[in-house]
Chain A
């Protein structure tokens, strides 16, 4: 089994991840069709689009989280550091160590704050107390959470507020220093202040990491994202009033272009609030 490479070979250019003709199926059902996106290194890329258009599906295809869904199947290529993540001999466990994930609903483990952060490093086999202490401190500082929790690291992660829990989850993802961090609507359950904290955090993290975020919040995409991909739904009428729907990538460009002068009329209508 060939290891998933941590650092980019010289040839792979500015792209962290390249999606080539990616199709995702749930069982027989086609969920997204022919997605081609090049995700820029150390930039924030936002996925926007109406509900059900497959944003989460594409995001989860990037670190093979779809493997956990029974019956899910990905066709096409997801190139990371010159390797196709869906090629033979690629272990999803290694993929996810390089490409971490933060979920829509904060999901800290029912363990202490310390153990939540130390979880990833311990998975990798790091046992030394001093080392773990350092990683916990650095990760919590990196997630702007250190000052709030440094005095009760033994407290349960579940005892934190929603916004703090989400930052804990980001700190947990950062603790193993991945290359790319995927975030699926990380602020959808948070108030504006907690949202602002996370957005600032993302701007900070992007200095080190490549970030892909799914969001329903247009302002958020405008505030944080360098690039934006707009997805939409295509449907085909079948007989007896039934239809078949799948998601497609409509437009992918620098955020300013998408919001100020979109090339596609559908994009324009969506960001203008006319549908979705």
Chain B
């Protein structure tokens, strides 16, 4: 650069007019960007509001409900849970005498349903209580009283309450209204109720579809009795087992890659590690359905003997694979963010590598690692596609009782309910979404509290 051009540039630095013109456009550009960012947050917030509006609209509102048998005629205040087992059995005997064998099949018998009617009682109910004198008979040969006793001895009270609610009381939702209708159109709703439903003996009341019954009842084909308990337990189990598998492996892999994998430039291990790292980064972007296919092939089919096939453990292993890259990448980021001055301090005192990692690097990195785990966990809760492939059930009567149980999870339940024809299932789906969101909040809050604690113990 010649001295001449240098001088012109310095003149521009001194030129007040030039400065003022540019100042205006600089500020204008700054404001433009600021407004764009504001717009972005408004759009995001609006989308969130629309989501909440939609969910709340379906989850609360007036319903018109009718019963086959009004529960107030069965128990004081219609509260079946307050009854004793023998009282509940008496109700079953009175209203459903002919269906008792079916209930034995559904709630007591655990074998192959096709053999239920032909096998003798001693085999059908092996290991369960049955009237000893009847062991050679089939279930159908038992008297209703004997069948009732089998049920009474082999079911618990809560199961009976569910059974009676579904089969005897058999509540039917005749009509449901959205929250917005319920608030702004009440007179119209009441008029419609008076005109169409009141003489059938139905009742109109305001309800929250998310309630204790919804949380504690098992799945059901009857929307008035259906709950999400089985799916809530399924989701919790899958997520917790997934984290238990993915967290130690992911953090371990990250520690290896960040702390141990440095070899001399050109060393073949260095190249290997770089290939591994690149691949982990790419794996984080692989569509989840592909993990589902992998899980199906490996955990459900090949390792079916160990995992039991389409079970919680298969699903958790698949999910663990899915979130592993997320955990590894975030943990690596967190480890890398630990200042090298701290490592130097530790090594300078004669610490071994492991002591340095364990006592200095890990405590500083843990908050960041937990942040990554929160992200991963949120992903695991919401994932649906791989679980459908590895065989989450859409409908099961029993709660999962072990890691080798069949299961379902909330997103699948939501999907299943939204695709049902009865309109009430839309309300149920909205409730399930609320439960899913709350569950997400709770799990995230737990992780955030843990992280805050780790931060505090670092700062003190």
Within 8 A of B (CB), among A79-118: 93-98, 100-101, 103, 105, 107-112
- Binary interface encoding of chain B residues 351-394 relative to chain A, with 1 for a CB under 8 A from any of its CBs, else 0: 11001000110011000000000000000000000000000000
Instruction: Answer whether A65 and B348 are a contact pair too, CB < 8 Å, given A119-B359, A123-B355.
Output: yes
Smallest distance from the beta carbon of B416 to chain A beta carbons, Å? 49
B344 / chain A contacts, CB cutoff of 8 Å: 65, 68, 101, 103, 107
Contact with B along A150-161 (1 / 0, CB 8 A): 000011101000
* B342 on the A face (CB < 8 A): yes
Question: When the two chains form the complex, which single residue of A112, A123, A156 contacts B349, counting CB atoms closer than 8 Å?
Answer: A123
Task: State whether the Cβ of A41 lies closer than 8 Å to any Cβ in chain B.
Answer: no
A112 to B363, CA, bound (A): 13
Which residues 34-68 of A have a CB within 8 angstroms of B?
63, 65, 68
**Residues B460 and A94 in contact, CB atoms below 8 Å apart:** no
Contact B345 A100 (CB under 8 A): no
Q: Is the CB of B349 within 8 A of A65?
A: no
B351–A123 touching, CB < 8 Å: yes
Interface residue tally of chain B, by bracket?
A: 20 to 34
Q: Which residues of B contact A63 (CB under 8 A)?
A: 348
Assuming the contacts A103-B345, A172-B349, asked whether A27 and B265 have C-beta atoms less than 8 A apart, the reply is yes
Q: When the two chains form the complex, which single residue of B348, B363, B459 contacts A100, counting CB atoms closer than 8 Å? A: B348
Contact A96 B345 (CB under 8 A): no
**By CB atoms of chain B within 10 A, which of A63, A93, A169 has the most?**
A93
| Pair A71/B348 contact, Cβ less than 8 Å | no
Interface of A is mostly: mixed
B308 to chain A minimum Cβ distance, whole angstroms, is 46
| In the complex, per-residue mask of A118-130: 1 if CB is within 8 Å of any chain B CB, else 0 | 0110111000000
Q: Is the Cβ of B459 less than 8 Å from the Cβ of A110? A: yes
Chain A, residue nearest B349 (CB): A120
Q: How large is the interface on A (under 10, 10 to 19, 20 to 34, 35 or more residues)?
A: 35 or more
B264 in the interface (beta carbon within 8 A): yes
A109 to B343, CA, bound (A): 9
- When the two chains form their complex, are residues B345 and A109 in contact, meaning their CB atoms are under 8 A apart? yes
Complex interface bits, A173-193 against B, C-beta within 8 A gives 1, otherwise 0: 100100000000000000000
**Chain A residue at minimal CB-CB distance from B264:** A71
B341 and A93 form a contact (CB under 8 A): no
Q: How far is the CA of A95 from the CA of B343 in the complex (A)?
A: 16
B49 within 8 A of A: no
Across-interface contacts of A70 in B (CB, < 8 A): 262, 264-265
Q: A154, B460: Cβ atoms under 8 Å? A: yes
| Contact between chains at B341 and A65 (CB < 8 Å) | no
Given A65-B348, A120-B350, A123-B350, CB of A112 within 8 Å of CB of B460: yes
| Contact among B342, B350, B359 with A107 in the assembled complex (CB-CB below 8 Å) | B342
- Asked if B19 CB lies within 8 Å of chain A CBs, one says no
How far apart sit A95 and B339, CA to CA, in the bound complex (Å)?
Answer: 23
How many Å from the CB of B171 to the closest CB on chain A? 59
Structural contact, B349 and A68, CB atoms closer than 8 A: no
Closest partner residue, chain B, to A182 (CB atom): B348
Is there an interface contact between A71 and B265, defined as CB atoms closer than 8 Å? yes
Q: Is B347 part of the binding interface, using a Cβ–Cβ cutoff of 8 Å?
A: yes
| Complex contacts, A109 vs chain B, CB 8 Å | 342, 345-346, 360
Instruction: Determine whether the beta carbon of A97 is less than 8 Å from that of B345.
Output: no
Q: Are B364 and A96 in contact (CB under 8 A)?
A: no
Q: Is the CB of B303 closer than 8 A to any CB of chain A?
A: no
Instruction: Render B434-460 as a binary contact track against A, CB cut-off 8 A, 1 for contact.
Output: 000000000000000000000000111
Which residues of A sit under 8 angstroms from B348, Cβ to Cβ? 63, 65, 96, 100-101, 103, 173
**Nearest Cβ in chain B — how far from A228, in angstroms?**
24
Instruction: Tell me which of B345, B364, B460 contacts A169 (CB under 8 A).
Output: B345
Residues on the B chain within 8 Å of A169, using CB: 345
Q: Is the CB of A173 within 8 A of B349?
A: yes
A93 B460 Cβ-Cβ under 8 A: no
Known contacts A103-B345, A107-B341, A107-B342; is-contact A93 B350 (Cβ 8 Å): yes
Residues of chain B from 182 to 237 with CB closer than 8 A to chain A in the complex: none
Return A93 CB to nearest CB of chain B, in Å: 5
Contact residues in A for B342 (Cβ distance below 8 Å): 107, 109-110
* Shortest 5 CB-CB contacts between residues of A and residues of B: A97-B350, A101-B348, A107-B341, A96-B350, A120-B349
Interchain Cβ contacts under 8 Å between A and B, 22 examples: A63-B348, A65-B348, A71-B265, A94-B350, A96-B349, A101-B344, A103-B344, A109-B345, A109-B346, A110-B342, A110-B459, A111-B363, A119-B359, A120-B349, A123-B352, A123-B359, A154-B460, A155-B460, A158-B459, A172-B345, A173-B348, A173-B349
Instruction: Give me the interface of A with B, judged by CB distance under 8 Å.
Output: 27, 63, 65, 68, 70-71, 93-98, 100-101, 103, 105, 107-112, 119-120, 122-124, 154-156, 158, 169, 172-173, 176
